[in-house]
Structure 1
């Protein structure tokens, strides 16, 4: 009979002493403790006892080390569970190795009061199927998890034991130095701090990364009291990319960047001035938050800050010879994600993110490639940013959509309520819609639920006190917005937190702040992206299938075609508050593929070249890109809208799949990336009769989808 071994895992050395008494009563198994502070000779004796099966209970902080492999390790007691999926998989692998003479592995985990990431919540939940979840985890995320672990394991041991390297989350910022060195000297960091100052550091020799933590003690500023001092800990991170010969330095306390750079590498040259602003290269739809200018001659007014609608003036001033850009910060989209970027002529570069060491390391390489790109023209780059300006009258462009205020994010749609005659409706059941849109006159819109709508308008007039605009409400019932502790009428709320009007040319407006695109010329929309269908059995003037499933409607005809395809979920989301008219989901090739279908009825019985048939559906398409930010928010949206149908005893929204399937997909989303594609369905559009105006609108819409989240778009139309 083969004897099995039990390993009890805890977080730290102190915990081994706390746990040992629970096992010491099983004297026949000779429990032992093993950790990094045990003397090497004693550790060797303990391991020999384990290998001889004299000691069959091992209490340790982590595994027994690489190279130690006993298939008899078949029972794991996790008093403190790992908080990293990669380490959990590695740990579990030790207990699941096959040996014919030994039974199956057993793992017991303490799941009370544990703070773990989302991937481990599934793993340690009740009734979790470990065979399935571990297989998914190991095939879908183990590579990235273990890649991160390999990165962290590359740091030298012993120098920073008191501070776990994986728990360091630096701000995304750096200064950058050009170098011509063939080697660097990270250990010289000891030379720039006083001997009495506590310094902990570690080095990743393969990646050339130095991480140092410095303890500083200083007198309090509010009195001459020797008994009380301020104690602070600061971090310094240095990374030398040998191939590009760039040195990146990040710290929580400035002042010694140059001294540190000159200490650890020969002849570093700080990148500053205009070169720094190359960091904005590749960021689409950049809208600057502030621009700081310095006077080149250091006159009485040396520094001027421009923000909001003054940005355009600031950029104009920056082109004059007597001023130069001091710092710039803006937000935009890069690589299909929202991003932010700031930089100072003195050399500092930053983003509003706090991230892992490995992500900071990758970000530095991306920044470095921009800084070394001599083809980037900073002036041309900044000419292309979006510039907000104050307007006196509404733009003379056709509006195509109205959206809730920017602060009404998709994650909050269950926490924001529209109050109609004292009845609260969550945001996922309410929608803003344009009312009789026109290229001139007041901007009319309505607040809609499935059974109610009320009209409003935005009015521009020079005689309006305090502002040149106001909101008017034409309904008799009071309509308010309730968010947190704040509650006020829609007309008052929108004065402070405005809705977003989008126009046919790609511009948008929030109250009297207008942002126009830097170019009205978009890439042409390709005709091959327009798929002609035959709509013989459909009344193309009827859009929705409604709850009664109207068989001659556009939406019903579309859904019947989708049902023939291999989707996991087909969801009818049509009605106020929708993400799209139809949502499909397919899990395939370790990705979650979501498709939005936006349907629109034809204004006439025959297809043609009417651009008016595209206004609303293109606006709806542009509005829906916000769902790319979070697959979890989209799935919650679907669940809540289906729950409302069930509560009202109405037909399900699911044409295929169900709530259980959505729940399964949400669990997969912890491992799989998420793709979104959007399709416009307008049978009133004739592919063979496409007008220039229709092509321009489709082109502007596609360009917006690509510049923001890199979403692909296609169109289903008529011949």
Structure 2
């Protein structure tokens, strides 16, 4: 390369670039940079890339697919869903066979209609392509050859010559043939691995939709219902009309590209950009969707330049007055934490994006460095006062307009006032909101949450926390990020409550107050202090000291309706912090002579009062309520029945001839017919229950075990525990409840279906207890034991319990048992009782 002379810069006046979506590549860029003064015209069928790198240039003319269809350049495209999949253990292989045979039938039909068509079999890997060669040879009569990147040019030319000479019916290729390849007779595509990118999908379709040539009909794509999504549309699903979907997808994607470029061009005001970054494009940014939100008192001057501090150097800045937003990049040099050698220096770059929404007076900050103290210091310097964070009840409005919401991570703050109990509980799982029960509302308030939902037809993720933060598990372009922030601001401004339709709605949030309603007993840190304890740094008599913040005591010295005075003490430190509920900032040092404390979160350091103003303390009051910031979380109202009576099924025991005091008749002449268990045996002997196993005696897993096949090929297992009433009339007797609930809880050890079935059959063979089958047989039990998933439920049968007059002390026992079962992954407790 060094021997090649550099061409004169003025060699060309105009450069025409074909396949211009490749222009961001290094070799293309180097070539074009040789002629910086020449004008350039770029041509491409896909003016956007899979990697989202910028294609430099403005849109001058667009010839969209809709016009190409109208002008006859592109022909009609049919999508044929292959939905008749033969049964088999290997689902992928069965789908491949179905697509191959459907493609063979389609090719024969087209040729029978007089069309000169060929077939392309498309997949995404060499391994899959090799497998498909064998599969097509075995299950079809098609003449196909494989083309892939490892083949020589001579081989590829020979195969294509055979294809043109009708010696082959088609080709099998990995991904797609190179650009410039042109064979209009390729009209049938057997898609075994659909593309996941719209740009590549459009290029692939373009190979088949061209109309040049004689005896050519419509192009046909065959695929199974893979559910692969391209630009929020299911191309490969039943009913997809490609001739409508594809032009609309292409036009919408191009329009978004045009709007994005116009949006970025509004950032014309440069602020302190160093020469090395003068050409950096905002198009290249992909910030993570995570924002800290502050409420401001008045309009924000977006031209105000943030003071990033002496340790950060601002190296890039752009401002858009049109969109009320600004973008900055900073550089920070710092010693590595694992060495004292000054020659070892880390250089860290951070992105800061500010967006102010005038309608709601909300300032959004998206930054790659997420220290709350840094956020607050930046905003305080910009506006001249301490801004207010949003309360959890305000943040929760961001959950409006969501459909099919489900949550993977939910936090619940304990309402019970005891330092011996957990202060914060976190639940995680694929549908963890379903584990939230009505009784949780008595014990917990709402904390953070993260989940997914459908919004405007698109899948989204969203999370929010009490630290005035909202996030989504994705990265956006700059226009997308600011559009997301604008949508959040609109929702937050709307004061209507958000209803997600999930069990998250059961957990209460706080009420805004301007005075503390009762005496403050003690204060508790935000949950993050316990999850990742920071180091508290301070000076005593001019000497530095430090220790984990959790090693210090935090005492409430005094409180009134306006606030509280707190003492942070330990390791020679004694500093006082005051809380004023109606002031901003709410937390501050009691006086200027107090020892200042900094919290170190790794390399990030912030003053403790800045941290508290973004992550307020939880103040526990002597009326069993809690204050966090200016939100009040009341104590649970009494009376409260923790067990949902809808879980109690009422039986007319007298009407069915049952002696409620008799659980089971012994072998000494007592009549079995009037016992609870004989009644239950008759009730459970129904068609829906495949197996009903009756047991009674020492070592039983349950009195009755019922197996019922489920629609998903799994099995529902219900364990019934019976107990006779302690008197001839139903009542609120503690003993009636304790023993039967204890049996239900203890039987959780048998919630392993193969083990439960083996034990039950063994007891029957060894004549332990009653041990007999009311319905079904041994073989059916063993077959059902192999099914998955197996779901377990518990039913306690106790006529002594009354639904209409259930006392709180008994409801607590039932609720505790149900809660224990649910936490173990099982269904809620069900009760059969009296009216």
TM-score bin (small chain): 0.3 to 0.5
**TM-score between both structures, scaled by the size of structure 2:** 0.37
| TM-score, length-scaled by structure 1 | 0.43
Name which structure has the greater RCO, CA cutoff 8 Å, separation 6+: 1
